[in-house]
Amino acid sequence: MNEIKTPRGGSNYQWVGKNTPRPDGVDKVTGRARYGDDMIVPGMLHGKILRSPHAHAKILSIDTSKAEALDGVKAVVTSADIPDHPMAQPPYPPIVNDFHDISRNVMAREKVLYDGHAVAAVAAISEEIARDAIKLIKVEYKVLQHILDPREAAQPDAVVLHEDLFTYGVEPKPTKPSNIFRVMHGERGDLNAGFAEADLVIEREFSSQPVHQGYIEPMACIASTSEDGTVELWTSTQGHFVQRTLLSKLLNMEMAKIRVTASEIGGGFGGKTTVYAEPLAIRLSQKTGRPVRMTMTRSEVFRATGPTVGSKTRIKVGMKKDGTITAGEAEIWYQAGAFKGSPIGRAVDTFFSPYTVANCKAAAYDVCVNRPKVAAYRAPGATMACYPMESVVNELAKELGLDPVEVRLKNAVKEGDESLMGTKHGRIGLVEVLEAVKEHPHYKAPLGDNEGRGFAVGYWLHGGGLSSAAVNLMDDGTLGVATGNPDIGGSRSSMRAMAAEELGVNVELLKPIIADTGSLGFSYLTAGSRTTFATGMAVVNATREVIDKLRALAAKKWDIPVEDVRWDAGQAIATDNYKDIKPLSLKELAGMATSMGGPVAGHSEINASGQGATFCAQLVDVEIDPDTGFTSTKRHTVFQDAGRAISPDYVEGQMQGGAVQGIGWALNEEYIYDDKARLQNTGFLDYRMPVASDVPMIDTVIIEVPNPNHPYGVRGVGEPPLVSGPAAVANAVENAIGQTMSDLPLSPPKILAALHAQAAGDD
């Protein structure tokens, strides 16, 4: 199904690049796979959270006595049970984990800051009693004025969420608190000269709404604590090692006493990269001496877990008649939600990054509003910046009578160019991606009535970082491959393929698992499209250590120097000097290992670097019903540089999944609040993510421009398809209705209103 283009020749790999049966497949289709809520521990209690009905209010008092007196209730916790922490101080890293904020987000302290903010939690012998008990908790509030829009919240006279928050990075140092946490800038060249050089300059404003990751499995965990201070936690997470770090710092506990096991995970998309109920479950378990399970409802997930940011943007771009982009200027306001920490750095880096714009400037504001604190969502911070830039580039190309793909080729970044935030590109594949678009039949296919075609390209610099892996050889020649990264997108398959390729044995001999935090070195989140790249490097290292040990074992057996033993196709082979020594297979060596020195295993703990930029372009055809404003996506093709697709069917799945999420983001997904800022659409019925029948078969073209810094050339693939998706869909709508649209989502009422305004203007 997937088309793979490898411009620099194919590979001779046996397992890398092949589709093999999924290692997690059988248990998932039979229902045997254990997700967060599937764990049952003897004696366990059920936890429930009382949540704020107000978007912004002072907590005057909390009376838990009646809840505590209810039969079956074993404990109640409030913010008094969660340690407080001082505010983080500058210099700030790109992602600030401020325990002052985390403590207040998991349990409101002085104030509630959004509808759904946790106020208290109960553990009881049944879910029903726990539900009844939280209704018996009496909370007195003083309701305050709320604010939802980031640009309004950035005004000097806006109601302030945090009296102790002063904007960082501006001179002179502010004396008044503000909702703006900080401003990030990037600049190069001479903006005035750049705009003067342009034949056409377009300036527009855009907005986008917060959208939820929509993972199918709600957050669920079970905490079991011991009188000796140890904690066992089972949770649905994208990073159990990061959970351990956060919990240790938040709850002032020793890391070694916290053992976290990642359950099978039903999707995360960035949303499961922090803590929500876990610290409450631990505290309730400590208070009761019993295990406590907490599972969020879908409504709680929508009200209280982080979506991605909503945004407001002002952007101005200049272009010459030949298509050269001469200058670009952008300002963007991100709504961080109740606490600081939206991905503004990515915004600055994203705007102009696919292009060699000599003169450009970008500023991004991190603004607190009365919404749930944002979390990562698949290319956090990039999508909302890609959408305005790509829209304006398309409009410039159209106005100047230029082909949109040729315009991108003219300005495309190449090896040696630098992004606005200073990433110097190595070998990258933007040109190859754009050439693949031009060659594809979709690009020139005819369009029907009321149809429009959209195009956009997106840039994403994926992650590297801390990863660990262990490869354990068993006596019978089978192997365990352990990593510390929850598998959200097929990483077990890719780890297995890379290890099998190194060893030269069938993938079916290898069993990939996710080890708990007590069993392996630290591994950063499964996030940032980093796992196949970074953890894959650790697996390759660990496998090579196994191979070296097996060569040494063969050398010992043969009584020859280890340098004279090479490894090939699953066996140790003596060099040509030893004509009568027969090779020893992996299985034979495994059988003799324990009696000849001991078990054979390899492990690797690394800080992976050398990640490269990834580009993803999308072509989308939509049809608009002119009488209702309904948009139907008719055809969608995704073109992406994967470096090397280790497991092509999973790569295809990532590209299709990202495209589908982009369709939802562009067309229908939004949070709907009432006039008191209470969320109205807290379920999938009214939070309108696409369903299967809403999307066409999404075609994929995988381009392989290998990253020379990875043993197999891997680039991260999970996030890039969501960078350019909404921009491409929005552009298709614009072309179908013949006017610009600047306010996502482009839902039917908005499109219909635009069509009516257009008709009124024509009269």
Partner 1 sequence: MTDRHAGSGLKSRGTKTLQDMNYEAPTSVEAAVAALAAADDEAHIFAGGTDLLVQLREEMIRPSLFVDIKRIIETRTITVDDTHVRIGAAVTGAELSEHDTAKTLLPGVVEAVELIGSAQVQGRATVGGNLCNASPAADSVPALIAAGAVAQIAGPNGLRVVAVEDLLAGPSRTNLSGNEFVVSLDIPKPTTRSADAYLRFIPRTEMDIAVVGAGAAVTLDADGICTASRLALGAVAPTARLVPAAAMAMIGKKIDDTVLASVAAAARDACNPIDDKRGTVAFRIHVAGVLAIRAVKIAIERAEAK
Chain residues that interact with partner 1, rule: CB under 8 A: 66, 70-71, 128, 131-132, 135-136, 138, 627-630, 632, 667-668, 672, 680-681, 684-686, 688, 690-691, 693-694, 747-749, 752-753
540 touches 467 (CB < 8 A) = no
**C-alpha dihedral, 660 to 661 to 667 to 673, nearest 10°:** 150
- DSSP 8-state assignment for residue 174: P
Closest CB 129 distance from partner 1, rounded Å: 9
DSSP annotation string for 278-332: HHHHHHHHHHHTS-EEEE--HHHHHHHS--PPPEEEEEEEEE-TTS-EEEEEEEE
Closest CB 339 distance from partner 1, rounded Å: 26
Nearer to partner 1, 71 or 171 (CB): 71
CA distance linking residue 761 with residue 763, whole number of Å: 6
Closest CB 747 distance from partner 1, rounded Å: 6
Nearer to partner 1, 65 or 575 (CB): 65
Closest CB 671 distance from partner 1, rounded Å: 10
Nearer to partner 1, 58 or 135 (CB): 135
* Closest by Cα among 658, 639, 633, 624 to 741: 624
Nearer to partner 1, 557 or 688 (CB): 688
User: For residue 677, is it left (φ>0), alpha (ψ between -120 and 50) or beta?
Assistant: left
Closest CB 664 distance from partner 1, rounded Å: 9
User: For residue 72, is it left (φ>0), alpha (ψ between -120 and 50) or beta?
Assistant: left
Closest CB 635 distance from partner 1, rounded Å: 16
Dihedral of alpha carbons 426, 195, 379, 335, sign: positive
Closest CB 40 distance from partner 1, rounded Å: 20
SS3 content of the chain, % helix, strand, coil (to 5): 30, 25, 45
In sequence order, which residues have a C-beta less than 8 Å from that of residue 545 and are 6 or more positions away? 471, 601, 602, 603, 604
Nearer to partner 1, 70 or 474 (CB): 70
To which residue do tokens 């929850």 refer?
486
Closest CB 689 distance from partner 1, rounded Å: 9
**Tokens for 104?**
């207040």
Closest CB 70 distance from partner 1, rounded Å: 7
Q: What is the layout of strands, in order, in the sheet containing 57-63?
A: 111-112, 57-63, 138-143
Nearer to partner 1, 72 or 177 (CB): 72
Closest CB 212 distance from partner 1, rounded Å: 15
CA distance linking residue 217 with residue 35, whole number of Å: 8
36 touches 219 (CB < 8 A) = yes
To which residue do tokens 């491959």 refer?
481
* Closest by Cα among 441, 356, 437, 430 to 403: 437
* Helix, coil or strand: residue 478: coil
Nearer to partner 1, 637 or 668 (CB): 668
Closest CB 756 distance from partner 1, rounded Å: 8
Closest CB 668 distance from partner 1, rounded Å: 5
Nearer to partner 1, 155 or 680 (CB): 680
Nearer to partner 1, 87 or 672 (CB): 672
CA distance linking residue 390 with residue 379, whole number of Å: 16
Written as one letter, the residue type at 628 is T
Nearer to partner 1, 93 or 761 (CB): 761
Closest CB 282 distance from partner 1, rounded Å: 28
471 touches 539 (CB < 8 A) = yes
Nearer to partner 1, 19 or 632 (CB): 632
**Tokens for 756?**
């009516």
Nearer to partner 1, 569 or 691 (CB): 691
Residue 679 has a CB neighbour count (10 Å cut-off) of: 20
- Report phi then psi at 340, rounded to 5: -60, 160
Q: What is the layout of strands, in order, in the sheet containing 3-5?
A: 3-5, 698-703, 631-641, 613-624, 451-461
Closest CB 37 distance from partner 1, rounded Å: 15
Nearer to partner 1, 136 or 499 (CB): 136
Nearer to partner 1, 497 or 744 (CB): 744
**Tokens for 321?**
């008649």
